Amino acid sequence: MKKVLRSVLVPLISIGLVGLIWQLVVVGFHVQSYVAPKPLDAVNAVFSNWGILWPLVLGTIRETVYGFLVGAVLGVVLGVVMAKIEIIRRLLYPLLVLSQAVPIIALASPLVLILGFSVAPKIVIVAWIVFFPVTVNVVDGLTHVDQDLLNLARVYGASSWRTFTQIELPAVSTPLFSGLKIGATYAVGGAIIAELVGSTGSSLAYYQEHASSNLQTAAVYGTTLVMTVIGIGWFLLVAGLEILLTPWQRRTTARRRRVASPSGSH
Amino acid sequence: MKKVLRSVLVPLISIGLVGLIWQLVVVGFHVQSYVAPKPLDAVNAVFSNWGILWPLVLGTIRETVYGFLVGAVLGVVLGVVMAKIEIIRRLLYPLLVLSQAVPIIALASPLVLILGFSVAPKIVIVAWIVFFPVTVNVVDGLTHVDQDLLNLARVYGASSWRTFTQIELPAVSTPLFSGLKIGATYAVGGAIIAELVGSTGSSLAYYQEHASSNLQTAAVYGTTLVMTVIGIGWFLLVAGLEILLTPWQRRTTARRRRVASPSGSH
Amino acid sequence: MLVGKLGVVCAALLEIESIGKTFGATTVLAPTSLRVEEGSFVSIVGPSGCGKSTLFNIVAGLLSPDAGGEVTVSGTSILGRSGHVGYMLQKDLLVPWRTVEDNITMVARLTRRVTEEDRREAREIATRYGLGEFLSHYPKALSGGMRQRVAFMRTLVAHQPLLLLDEPFGALDAQTRLEMQSWLLDVWRETGRTVLFVTHDVDESIFLSDRIVVMSPRPGRVVADLTNPLARPRTLDILTDPRFIEMKSTILHLLHSRENS
Amino acid sequence: MLVGKLGVVCAALLEIESIGKTFGATTVLAPTSLRVEEGSFVSIVGPSGCGKSTLFNIVAGLLSPDAGGEVTVSGTSILGRSGHVGYMLQKDLLVPWRTVEDNITMVARLTRRVTEEDRREAREIATRYGLGEFLSHYPKALSGGMRQRVAFMRTLVAHQPLLLLDEPFGALDAQTRLEMQSWLLDVWRETGRTVLFVTHDVDESIFLSDRIVVMSPRPGRVVADLTNPLARPRTLDILTDPRFIEMKSTILHLLHSRENS
Amino acid sequence: SSSGASLKSITFAYDFPGPDFELTPVVVAQKEGFFAKAGLNVSVKFPPNTSTTTQLLTTGAAQVGFITTTDMGVSVNAGAPVVSIGNYSMSNNWALFAKPGVQLDAKHIHADLLGKTIFSYGDTWTEAMLPFVLRHAGLKTSQVKILTAPTGNDLTDLLAGKVDVSTSTTNYETPGFVGAKVKGKETQLLGTAVGAPNIPVWVYATTKSYAGKNPATLRAFMSAISQATAWAVAHPTEAATLFDKTYPQSGYTNAYNLLGWQLTIPFLKNAQHQYFVQTNAQWSTLATALKGIGLISKVPAPSTYYTNQYLPKG
Ligand SMILES: Nc1ncnc2c1ncn2[C@@H]1O[C@H](COP(=O)(O)OP(=O)(O)OP(=O)(O)O)[C@@H](O)[C@H]1O
Ligand SMILES: Nc1ncnc2c1ncn2[C@@H]1O[C@H](COP(=O)(O)OP(=O)(O)OP(=O)(O)O)[C@@H](O)[C@H]1O
Ligand SMILES: [Mg+2]
Ligand SMILES: [Mg+2]
């Protein structure tokens, strides 16, 4: 309980401190409101325009979720294939690094041209960002699974599939989730860049761009806050999923204790 | 020798395959030249405009180098401070994650407003991208240094500074370089976004934007190639530095063998 | 011929016939033969690198030996086929993501659907050997000795008549090791399995076994096959028994003279 | 009073006086006293968790004991002060980023500038004890026994008269262990250091020591302090010496009766 | 009065990150000595993006700037102390463009736009003009698909068939289309033909505080610009060549620059053949339009936006 309190309280204190510093800078240096808003004005700009913002936020979330799922699945599949087949690993690894050295912004325009203004290019961009840490971590994890554990499975004649689901998959859960958390954090940034290159109707990125060109700095900063909150929320969701799916990392006993001692003793 | 050959040859084959697929798609689907160029046209667009591109490339490299250095130093310092002082670690960790959830593109405009149109906002953005993996890895590395090794230093009365330089710093070299390599790969992407938002006069990003608005797709793709090459080059440089500075990772003996057996035997 | 061979093999559960192993240019294990009678406890001692684990890996079906050898269990060849022995290493190899109960049933989980019967058996054996309280614990909550016990129970419920134990107590401290040795003897007596045991600890090999096989340095081969004259059950007191001391001295000298050859 | 105390202490290099340690509510080490004469080799055996390493950590200055105790080396208090003993653990704790030569001079490197004299000494000692060929190798290129030897050389060139060795051979296989034991005895004889040694292996403690101190389970205290009657130099043959067997039996029963108490 | 030392140095902020043909009058004034004759030494600064020219002015990084009238509207609304000192163009050349082979006609504009995808950079000008066109065509916003792409490219999307109609100004769209060398001809339809108000797109602007302290400098600036504009209109080929010499790395061809400038010329004068002169009507029309789409909160007096007092007399 105390631990939970602390793990919620401390981040809140940190965020509070950032808000305070921001407020002090704006007030202390007499920053004009069309240069940078006060933190509360930025928050206010979000709430007072929530009716307009909400559908845009939903749109961005949708892109992020789809892109994340595609990226995660692709990342895992690619990771497994690369871990299992050495020639593929050798051929694809340089391309993996290459893929991340391509500036996302330079990638977005051609993608839109090819895929149109639908949600597709956004999904591709988000997936492009998400798959990389997932693949790298899965490859790394799978190639470092304890060889003796794998031998144990072989000794008892386990099939490759059971070896995979019973040994290899759980063994890579930690690096896999690390990769997913990294991907989750950066996913929104990718979606925003893709939105800027073209959306039918409005988008969160365009809303911000528009506010920016109209000198509505409170709305600009407010939108940034919203984007950040989506990113953090997505990160926390994945982190929560990890806690749920890997109970052995934090607990000493399984949640549902089975009825023990069928012999009736003690 | 064979190993070196393979580690150069295989990436080249991979890149060649990508070029081939690109060529086949463009030719096979009769893609218009204003939609996507043939790979050789893109390469050609780079060489035939090299006189214009070169100073822009230099500019981007300069921003990347400065930003990388600032980010690396900041990342190491922050990592050390966070590893050593628990309360700072607790307070800053959520902000670290938060900092990466902010879409870079949303960060760039306010930064330009605050820092002006100089090289400063680009440095800040690149450093913002680079410091994170460095800090996270340094904190992780330092908090996992073998406690017995640290005790060994204490037993013999080593100062904190000597313990740091002799034990802790070399012990985190692997995660530190991992962080730096990740940072190096993404640095150019950050510089490009910053250039797009905040360059007076010319820049690589603007050159591309301009080529794009003039339908010079060969130049657009060519510029993307150039950006990617800068990113990969920067990654390889850091990787090379790692090989140079951590010889114990790959070699079994030190490079310069000292004159042994002062007793004159054997 | 087959009948003749079967006739010879019948008395032995495991029969190893001129099994050798060469990695590249180095012969690790010279062609080696060994018989293990049903229900017996046989230990192998030998210098590090003499191919003990290699031999076990061949019997377990993880490695294929050089051509010309044969391994049979109950008269049936198991050369290059897995699923015919229980195998346990110095590392306990428990999976951290499974509870004690689920680790004990791991072999079933790796080959087929786990039945309620499997679970019942796991609970029963764990309770019988003092781990009933820990059935829903994850391995990290257990001590080294408890983990080795779980690993051994997992090996037991695989229901193989032959158990290969490769230095299972090597990582334990001396006191826990003593406890585990007594416990292993209890279980062995109660379940009637056949055990082939590798150890570096000469005291341990004498304390536990019916027969002690001494191997030479690489390339490994059998240099002595000693029958243990000490009666069971054995207690700490056998350490001062002259037959124990003589046996230990013999083994140590066998190991040591080879070492310096 | 000081003179009187000094008078008593002079014969002993290390004097531990009623040193105890309590972590939170559990007393790990009951107040314990122990004298180690200059130039002697004293072993401590005791069940796991009885506080042997805790005692070493206190002597090395890593932990502070409960109030009321005192630790002196050559009559000077070293309570809570580091830099006055050589310390070596089961883990060799070589740094992977330094060559053998640089690992041997690591203590100098951790406290001051490494001189040419330091290097010369490291090269000399490594050459003398058979590692001259490996001076510029990184530790990963060495076997377990070689690594332990380098760790011991590092401890030697720290030039402390008192060496604390906490199960230094616990991780080695039996044969390498035997070699290392002989080697350690050689070095000890040649360099004239005083050694306090922790082990779980009763054979090892008898083979090596002048005195064997037996400790009780937690909270640890000294239950016996036995003088080893066996003459030096000792060979493998002492294993069959009746005095050896008697001593081993005594120690094992001391350890075992405590265990079940 | 042309010795370098005695010239007054000022910085001119353009509206686009790089140089293009709308900068021609300033280039001509620099190169043909009109600025020097007026006692000025003008250097050009390019903003990092199309929405920061106002900030260059208010932060003092530049003294005179070139912005769209809609940017003036929102800047004033946001409290930025900027003021327009002269129109650049006098009429509205914002237009709709259809992909090759598709017709756009003012007579059946309703049918031409119904259900179509219309490209917009999301810029304030397009946002202000599109509602006029849709209202004129009798269409609701929901009856067309508006595609906003702040960093997209209308021409590529149009040619690639990703959109049916794009929006831009005639002087930029046509040279781009010509440069693309695609077969077919695109149709263009001026916004003013389908309901858009005929108001100027770009103005020269400064800050109120700078204007208060430096009236003579501003007068000198507008006078030089006036002579340079007249010269460039009279000598378009020479003007385009001057531009190329000044900015050899602009990335544009001479043909593009010349065509762009030639297409700009017709919109520089109003019906009375005047340059620069601003009116209450243009500003109140604009402010009302901006208020109508919610971009500004209140319609101020037109005089808040502009002054003609620095324009050359006569
Ligand atoms: N896959 C392999 N390729 C090459 N050599 C190998 C391989 N596996 C084992 N060896 C070598 O074979 C030899 C015997 O190894 P093995 O593990 O069987 O010895 P062991 O008797 O079990 O030793 P220990 O007592 O240390 O466990 C060793 O020298 C080892 O290095
Ligand atoms: N920092 C600490 N806090 C709490 N308990 C501790 C701490 N350090 C050691 N202990 C406990 O003190 C007891 C003695 O530990 P110690 O390591 O001294 O035992 P030991 O005799 O060296 O055992 P072993 O033979 O296994 O090495 C153990 O039960 C251990 O869990
Ligand atoms: Mg082995
Ligand atoms: Mg200990």
The arrangement of strands across the sheet holding C222-227 comes to: C86-89, C162-166, C194-198, C41-45, C211-215, C222-227
Are both C22 and C128 inside the same structural domain? no
Q: What is the CATH number of the domain that holds C38?
A: 3.40.50.300
Max Cα-Cα span within chain E? 63
Comparing alpha-carbon positions, the chain B residue that sits nearest to E49 is B197
Q: What's the pLDDT at D9? A: 38
E strand or H helix that includes residue C16: strand C12-23
Q: What's the pLDDT at B111? A: 80
User: pLDDT digits over E85-106, tens only?
Assistant: 999 999 899 999 998 878 888 8
Structure confidence at residue B252 as a pLDDT band (50, 70, 90)? confident
Per-chain mean pLDDT for chain C? 88
> Structure tokens of B164?
């740091």
DSSP secondary-structure letter at E63? S
Q: Model pTM?
A: 0.84
Q: Residue D21's domain spans which residues?
A: 2-85+161-260
Comparing alpha-carbon positions, the chain D residue that sits nearest to B255 is D136
Contacts of C60 in chain A (CB under 8 A): 155
For ligand 1, the distance from its centroid to the CA atom of residue D100, given in whole angstroms, is 25
Per-chain mean pLDDT for chain B? 86
CA atoms of C227 and C248, how far apart (whole Å): 12
Comparing alpha-carbon positions, the chain D residue that sits nearest to B166 is D110
CA-proximal residue: ligand 2, atom 13 (nearest) = D49
Are both D64 and D138 inside the same structural domain? no
CA atoms of E93 and E198, how far apart (whole Å): 8
CA atoms of B2 and B6, how far apart (whole Å): 6
> Given D159, D176, D211, which residue is the final one in a domain?
D159
Q: Could you tell me how many residues make up chain A?
A: 266
| Average pLDDT over every residue of C213-234 | 91
Are both C235 and C155 inside the same structural domain? no
C-alpha Rg value of chain A to the nearest Å: 23
E strand or H helix that includes residue D1: none
**Closest C-alpha among A106, E162, E167, E184 to residue B217:** A106
Query: Is B240 buried (19+), middle (13-18) or exposed (0-12) by CB count in 10 A?
Result: exposed
CA distance A233 to chain C (A): 27
On the question of pLDDT at C80 being above 90, the answer is no
Q: What's the pLDDT at D8? A: 41
Are both D21 and D100 inside the same structural domain? no
Comparing alpha-carbon positions, the chain D residue that sits nearest to B247 is D97
On the question of pLDDT at A183 being above 70, the answer is yes
C247 contact partners, CB below 8 Å, separation of at least 6: C206, C212, C226, C228, C229, C230
Q: What's the pLDDT at E4? A: 53
> Using CB atoms, which residue from A6, A102, A188 is nearest to B103?
A188
On the question of pLDDT at B208 being above 80, the answer is yes
Q: What ligand 1 atom has the least distance to the C-alpha of C167?
A: 27
Are both D24 and D144 inside the same structural domain? no
Sign of torsion over alpha carbons E125, E180, A195, A189: negative
Are both C105 and C52 inside the same structural domain? no
Q: What's the pLDDT at A1? A: 59
Q: What ligand 1 atom has the least distance to the C-alpha of C56?
A: 18
For ligand 2, the distance from its centroid to the CA atom of residue D51, given in whole angstroms, is 6
Are both C154 and C76 inside the same structural domain? no
Cβ distance A212 to B109 less than 8 Å, yes or no, reads: yes
Q: What's the pLDDT at B256? A: 62
On the question of pLDDT at A135 being above 60, the answer is yes
| Average pLDDT over every residue of A79-106 | 90
CA atoms of A243 and E160, how far apart (whole Å): 48
Structure confidence at residue B198 as a pLDDT band (50, 70, 90)? low
Strands C162-166 and E145-148: unpaired
On the question of pLDDT at E278 being above 90, the answer is yes
Cβ distance B156 to D110 less than 8 Å, yes or no, reads: yes
Structure confidence at residue B201 as a pLDDT band (50, 70, 90)? low
> Using CB atoms, which residue from D62, D95, D135 is nearest to B154?
D62
Q: What is the percent of chain A where pLDDT is above 90?
A: 49
> By three-state DSSP, how is residue C90 classified?
coil
Tell me the residues surrounding ligand 4 (ion) with CB < 5 Å.
Answer: D 53
On the question of pLDDT at A92 being above 70, the answer is yes
E158 or E227: which carries more pLDDT confidence? E227
Are both C136 and C234 inside the same structural domain? no
Max Cα-Cα span within chain C? 56
Are both D119 and D22 inside the same structural domain? no
On the question of pLDDT at B205 being above 90, the answer is no
Cβ distance C236 to D253 less than 8 Å, yes or no, reads: yes
Q: What's the pLDDT at B117? A: 66
Compute the count of residue pairs across chains A and E with CB atoms less than 8 Å apart. Answer: 80
Structure confidence at residue C9 as a pLDDT band (50, 70, 90)? very low
B29 in contact with chain E, both atoms CB, cutoff 8 A? no
Q: What's the pLDDT at B200? A: 58
B144 in contact with chain A, both atoms CB, cutoff 8 A? no
CA distance A154 to chain B (A): 32
User: pLDDT digits over D120-176, tens only?
Assistant: 999 999 998 888 899 999 999 898 889 999 999 999 898 899 999 999 988 888 778
> Using CB atoms, which residue from C96, C111, C140 is nearest to A157?
C111
Q: What's the pLDDT at D177? A: 85
Contacts of B223 in chain A (CB under 8 A): 106
What is the full DSSP assignment across A16-45?
HHHHHHHHHHHHHTT--TTT---HHHHHHH
Contacts of B251 in chain D (CB under 8 A): 138
> Given C159, C175, C204, which residue is the final one in a domain?
C159
CA atoms of E122 and A117, how far apart (whole Å): 14
Beta bridge partners of E96: E167, E189
User: pLDDT digits over D30-64, tens only?
Assistant: 999 999 999 999 999 998 888 999 999 999 999 99
Per-chain mean pLDDT for chain A? 87
| Average pLDDT over every residue of E131-160 | 85
Contacts of E55 in chain B (CB under 8 A): 113
Q: What is the percent of chain E where pLDDT is above 90?
A: 48
How far CA A204 is from CA of A50, A230, B213, in Å, comes to 12, 11, 23
Indicate the number of domains in chain D. Answer: 2
Per-chain mean pLDDT for chain E? 88
Answer whether D touches A (≥3 Cβ pairs < 8 Å).
no
User: pLDDT digits over C92-134, tens only?
Assistant: 999 999 999 999 999 999 999 999 999 999 999 999 888 889 9
Residue owning tokens 């209890």: C186
Checking ipTM against 0.90, whether it exceeds it is no
User: pLDDT digits over A8-43, tens only?
Assistant: 888 888 889 999 999 998 888 887 777 788 999 999
Comparing alpha-carbon positions, the chain B residue that sits nearest to D141 is B252
Per-chain mean pLDDT for chain D? 88
Alpha carbon A247 to its chain's center: 21
| Average pLDDT over every residue of C142-162 | 90
User: pLDDT digits over B76-89, tens only?
Assistant: 999 999 999 988 98
Give ligand 1 pocket residues (Cβ under 6 A): C 23, 28, 46, 48-54, 218; D 173
A155 or E179: which carries more pLDDT confidence? A155
Structure confidence at residue E240 as a pLDDT band (50, 70, 90)? very high
User: pLDDT digits over D207-243, tens only?
Assistant: 999 999 999 988 899 999 999 999 988 888 888 888 9
| Average pLDDT over every residue of C4-32 | 78
> By three-state DSSP, how is residue A247 classified?
helix
Are both C18 and C79 inside the same structural domain? yes
Q: What's the pLDDT at B199? A: 61
On the question of pLDDT at A71 being above 60, the answer is yes
DSSP secondary-structure letter at E253? -
Give ligand 2 pocket residues (Cβ under 6 A): C 173; D 23, 28, 46, 48-54, 218
E76 in contact with chain A, both atoms CB, cutoff 8 A? no
Q: Are C129 and C183 in contact (CB under 8 A)?
A: yes
Compute the count of residue pairs across chains A and B with CB atoms less than 8 Å apart. Answer: 136
Compute the count of residue pairs across chains B and E with CB atoms less than 8 Å apart. Answer: 64
For ligand 1, the distance from its centroid to the CA atom of residue C51, given in whole angstroms, is 6
A264: left (phi over 0), alpha (psi -120 to 50) or beta: left
CA-proximal residue: ligand 1, atom 17 (nearest) = C53
> Structure tokens of E112?
């031409």
Q: What is the percent of chain B where pLDDT is above 90?
A: 43
C24 contact partners, CB below 8 Å, separation of at least 6: none
> Using CB atoms, which residue from B35, B196, B202 is nearest to E18?
B202
**Closest C-alpha among D161, D210, D214 to residue D13:** D161
Question: Which ligand neighbours the alpha carbon of C47 most closely?
Answer: 1
**Direct distance between the N- and C-terminal alpha carbons of chain C, in angstroms, rounded to an integer:** 40
Domains located in chain A, CATH noted: 60-246 (1.10.3720.10)
Are both D176 and D146 inside the same structural domain? no
On the question of pLDDT at D96 being above 90, the answer is yes
For chain A, which chains pass the contact test of at least 3 CB pairs under 8 Å? B, C, E
Q: What's the pLDDT at E225? A: 94
> Given C159, C176, C203, which residue is the final one in a domain?
C159
Are both C74 and C177 inside the same structural domain? yes
CA-proximal residue: ligand 1, atom 16 (nearest) = C51
On the question of pLDDT at C7 being above 50, the answer is no
Contacts of B201 in chain E (CB under 8 A): 18, 46
Contacts of A156 in chain C (CB under 8 A): 82-83, 107, 110-111, 158
**Direct distance between the N- and C-terminal alpha carbons of chain A, in angstroms, rounded to an integer:** 32
| Average pLDDT over every residue of D76-91 | 89
The arrangement of strands across the sheet holding E40-45 comes to: E40-45, E8-13, E64-68, E202-207, E82-87
Q: What ligand 1 atom has the least distance to the C-alpha of C24?
A: 4
Q: What's the pLDDT at A263? A: 43
CA distance A172 to chain C (A): 11
> Structure tokens of D255?
């350890």
User: pLDDT digits over B149-187, tens only?
Assistant: 999 999 998 999 999 999 999 999 988 998 998 899 889
On the question of pLDDT at E285 being above 70, the answer is yes
